[in-house]
């Protein structure tokens, strides 16, 4: 009787474990873990960041309350010639609770630009009755905490102005504009000019920005952080999203990296 009881208990434990494994495969954690394993990337359920990432002073990572980081993939430069991390960030900010997927690439930059901190965001339209002024103010406050200054009109490379002028109409051009902030505006100007000095890179950069106007782009300490606020990338789209950001990372890297992926 005791043996039968022991057998039943062990069977229940085994069945429960199997069911938990099967269920976990259908969760976000299980699906992202499978992606990592398939590509020989490292996966962690919960993460804390290295000192290098903390010191990079990224806005959403350093100035959000009770930020939680989950579902991390870390990879070396085997796949894209540049190492990268991707992870989910749940952050409490003045504008609310945000769940966003982050993609972070290491860049290859000239030494003079390693301490450059630069942000590019979609241009805020003129305020009207429907504008969330508090949200715009929160963004400006964050840049102030990061000690970032908006580039003046003469500090924005001419290629950006030329690109805006090519838009089909004034309204489209205005919506396509990008606000640029940096810790050293003059250095940001030199960096963007150097990137756009190569014809292939100029075209690729402008096309990339035009195709992804909804993304926040931040460069600091030789790293590129890209995300869309309050948007989690679906597991089936994760590889495609990483590849898209890899394209931008290669465009921005110095010396030149091949753009074919």
pLDDT tens, N- to C-terminus, the chain (261 residues): 566 666 566 555 555 544 444 444 458 889 999 999 999 999 998 887 777 888 888 887 776 667 788 999 999 999 899 999 999 998 876 667 788 999 999 999 999 999 999 998 875 555 555 556 666 666 777 788 788 999 988 888 877 765 555 554 444 444 457 789 999 999 999 999 888 877 677 778 888 988 888 899 999 999 999 999 889 999 999 999 999 999 999 999 976 555 444
Best CA proximity match to 214, nearest among 137, 105, 121: 121
3-state secondary structure of 85: strand
| Structure-token match 């950006």, residue found | 160
Report d(CA 35, CA 156) in Å as an integer: 40
Q: Count Cα atoms within 13 angstroms, Cβ side, for 192.
A: 24
Which two three-digit tokens encode residue 155? 């500090």
Q: What is this structure's pTM?
A: 0.80
Helix (H) or strand (E) holding 219: strand 216-220
Short-list 223, 260, 179, CA closest to 52:
223
Report how far Cα 180 is from the mean position of its chain's Cα atoms: 16
Give the start-end residues of each E strand in 107-175. 118-122, 149-150
| Bond preceding residue 220 cis, omega within 30 of 0 | no
Q: Provide the residue ranges of all domains of the chain, joining segments of one domain with +.
A: 1-29, 39-252
Q: 87 and 102 in contact (C-beta within 8 Å)?
A: yes
What is the DSSP pairing of strand 216-220 with strand 223-227? antiparallel
What pLDDT is stored for residue 130 in this prediction? Answer: 57
Cα separation of 155 and 148, whole Å? 14
Written as six digits, the tokens of 252 are 């921005």
Structure tokens at 101: 């997927």
Give pLDDT, residue 175.
46
């Amino acid at each position: 009787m005791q043996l039968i009881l022991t057998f039943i208990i062990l069977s229940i434990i085994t069945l429960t474990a199997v069911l938990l494994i099967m269920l976990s495969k259908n969760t976000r954690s299980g699906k992202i873990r499978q992606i990592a394993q398939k590509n020989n990337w490292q996966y962690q359920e919960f993460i804390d960041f290295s000192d290098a990432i903390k010191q990079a002073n990224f806005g959403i990572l350093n100035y959000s309350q009770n930020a939680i980081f989950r579902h991390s993939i870390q990879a070396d430069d085997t796949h894209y010639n540049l190492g990268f991390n991707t992870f989910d960030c749940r952050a409490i900010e003045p504008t609310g609770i945000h769940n966003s997927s982050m993609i972070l690439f290491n860049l290859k930059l000239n030494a003079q630009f390693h301490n450059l901190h630069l942000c590019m965001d979609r241009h805020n339209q003129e305020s009207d009755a429907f504008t969330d002024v508090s949200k715009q103010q929160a963004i400006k406050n964050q840049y102030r905490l990061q000690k970032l200054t908006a580039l003046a009109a003469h500090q924005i490379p001419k290629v950006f102005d030329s690109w805006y002028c090519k838009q089909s109409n004034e309204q489209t051009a205005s919506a396509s504009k990008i606000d640029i902030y940096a810790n050293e505006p003059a250095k940001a100007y030199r960096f963007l000019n150097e990137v756009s000095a190569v014809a292939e890179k100029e075209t690729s950069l402008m096309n990339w920005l035009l195709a992804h106007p909804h993304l926040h782009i931040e460069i600091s300490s030789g790293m590129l952080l890209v995300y869309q606020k309050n948007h989690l990338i679906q597991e089936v789209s994760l590889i495609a999203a990483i590849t898209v950001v890899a394209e931008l990372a290669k465009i921005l890297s110095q010396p030149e990296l091949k753009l074919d992926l």
